[in-house]
Chain A
Amino acid sequence: MFSSLILAPFADESARHSLAAVIALAISAGPVGVFLMLRRMSLVGDAMSHAILPGVAIGFLVAGLNVFAMTLGGLAAGLLIALLAGVVTRTTELKEDASLAVFLLVSLALGVVIVTVNGMDIEHLMEFLFGETSANMNQDKLLVIAANATVSTLVLALIYRPLVLDCVDPGFLRTVSGSGGIAHFAFLALLVLNLISGFHALGTLLGVGIMIIPAAISRFWTRDITAMIAIACVTGALSGIAGLLLSFHAKIPTGPGVTLVAGVLYIASILFGSVGGLVWRLFPGRHLEA
């Protein structure tokens, strides 16, 4: 029973690659998701995942289904948009969400045009949008995801201090250091990097799920940022593993599989979370002395 449910799906080598990929992705995307949430940018992350589409499509046109070409294309498109939006935000009155939204919409429109004009067939398009079945992870994709996760984790460690300060007290950071702007751009670059990993592992539409949902879950269990990051990584990895199993047994793509498991964990956290969970609100207990 245990072996047929849990172990048998991973008998195949590419399924084991998928497993390694989602765990790496959960560990690198979890902290990025936490910062997105704390900066109230969760939807920006979501929108950004569509913005890398034209880059990926151009990579696809140039080199076919080549993982590295699609990665480079997506990276270039994402970084360009992050940079343009960042410059507009920091030099004009427009706030981040508005300036990003404009670039994202234009980019998504461009992506759809490129994909349609060049007649991508429906099978590839579905794979493109929703991720492949777990049996299709290849070594190149795993390599890209692992490299992205390594870079992302290291860079996040480097910019962690200014990033936290830029979230909690940006005015103070400006008076002691000029690193806020650099940290912000570096963070957006990490966002793009993780979106590309998510795209390879889970498809463009749902790749962002493993970044944003675990972060939202973590908020229901702790009030400390370090613990939040740890919880986001662990719940992300759990959703990844359980989601792969679900997609194997139910014969559905990995993207929705992983995202649905994360969604179930999220609903459980809303109900039972130790910080503001709804069930505890119903039974708050008597008030304390002081």
Chain B
Amino acid sequence: MTVQLQFRDLTLGYDRHPAVHHLSGAVEEGALLAVVGPNGAGKSTLFKGIIGALPPLAGGIERGGLAVRDIAYLPQVADIDRSFPIGVYDMVAMGLWKRAGLFGGIDADGREQIRKAIATVGLTGFEDRALATLSGGQMQRMLFARLLLQNARVIVLDEPFTAIDAKTSEDLLALVRHWHGEKRTILAALHDLDLVQAHFPQTLLLAREAVAWGATRDVLTPQNMLKARQMCEAFESEAAECKVPEAV
């Protein structure tokens, strides 16, 4: 198996305080990996590191030859101005940015892809609806349609099913499984452990450091979960410098 993402003694954080601490490991190409852990465990921080939005405090990430812009990313709370006067169709169409760029037009093939993506997430008929009129679930469906068009080899989803009803998360999960079938590499931060056990073959249990990483069955044990809960949120404003030697 080829390695898609390699973390080498990776430390990520804010103002020198680590949120992800000395993480090492590899995500194989085509993996469907759940990232689990309490709030404040560093899941979102890890994802921001993967997409290059947050430079590491120490250590590094190798992306298997991919540029950071080849990675599709769904943030936990999308920073979207919902009052902006734009419709569903145009928002989804932005998934074709790589093809169309700043000035390129969208040809018949592109329009067909947009139509299909909107149909796949079940939003046919909503093309002209303004963002302000969408429900939370419809918004998430729209963002998945855009992810679909981005056609990325690596997809990073930060709590994609939080505050989403059962039917919507079922539909969107089917999409994730379809991507998995296409051998794309998927990382998803999740809180619903039943869902992780049912659908995600691999899990990383994170609590600033990796508590456990491997087959979901071996990772989600009661002992590990307890350990994760205890390790989390160790923030001290006057913390001393970390003594762990830097990896070379």
Bound together: yes
Chain B, Cβ-Cβ closest to A182: B102
- Cross-chain contact of B94 among A172, A222, A223, A228 (Cβ < 8 A): A172
Q: A161-B102, A175-B69 are in contact. Are A169 and B80 (CB under 8 A)?
A: yes
Q: Would A169 and B78 count as touching, CB distance under 8 A?
A: yes
Within 162-219 of B, Cβ neighbours of A (below 8 Å) are at: none
B69 touches A168 (CB 8 A): no
Is there contact, CB below 8 Å, between B97 and A176? Answer: yes
B residues contacting the other copy or chain, number (CB 8 A): 28
Check A72 for interface membership: any CB of B closer than 8 A.
no
Q: Which residues of A contact B101 (CB under 8 A)?
A: 177
Q: Quick one: closest B residue to A183, CB to CB?
A: B102
Are the CB atoms of B85 and A171 closer together than 8 Å? no
Contact indicator B75/A38 (Cβ below 8 Å): no
Q: Which residue of B lies closest to A170 (CB)?
A: B79
A16 within 8 A of B: no
Chain B residues, CB < 8 A from A162: 102
Please classify the interface of chain A as helix (H, G, I), strand (E, B), loop, or mixed, using the class held by over half of its residues: helix
Question: What are the interface flags for B62-90 relative to A under an 8 Å C-beta threshold, 1 for contact and 0 otherwise?
Answer: 00000011011101001111001111000
Q: In the complex, A144→B125 CA distance in Å?
A: 48
Q: Smallest CB-CB separation from A38: which chain B residue?
A: B84
User: Which A residues touch B130, using CB under 8 A?
Assistant: 223-224
- Are A224 and B85 within 8 A (Cβ)? yes
List chain A residues, Cβ under 8 A from B103.
Answer: 158, 161
Contacts of A168 in B (CB 8 A): 80-81, 84, 86, 91, 131
- A residues contacting B by CB (< 8 A) are 38, 158-159, 161-162, 164-165, 167-172, 174-177, 179, 222-225, 228
Would you mind naming 12 contact pairs between A and B with Cβ atoms under 8 Å apart?
Answer: A164-B86, A167-B81, A170-B79, A171-B78, A171-B79, A175-B68, A175-B73, A176-B69, A177-B97, A177-B101, A224-B85, A225-B84
Beyond contacts A165-B94, A177-B101: 16 other A-B pairs, Cβ-Cβ < 8 A, are: A161-B102, A168-B86, A169-B79, A169-B91, A169-B94, A171-B79, A172-B146, A174-B53, A175-B69, A176-B97, A177-B69, A177-B97, A177-B102, A222-B85, A224-B86, A225-B84
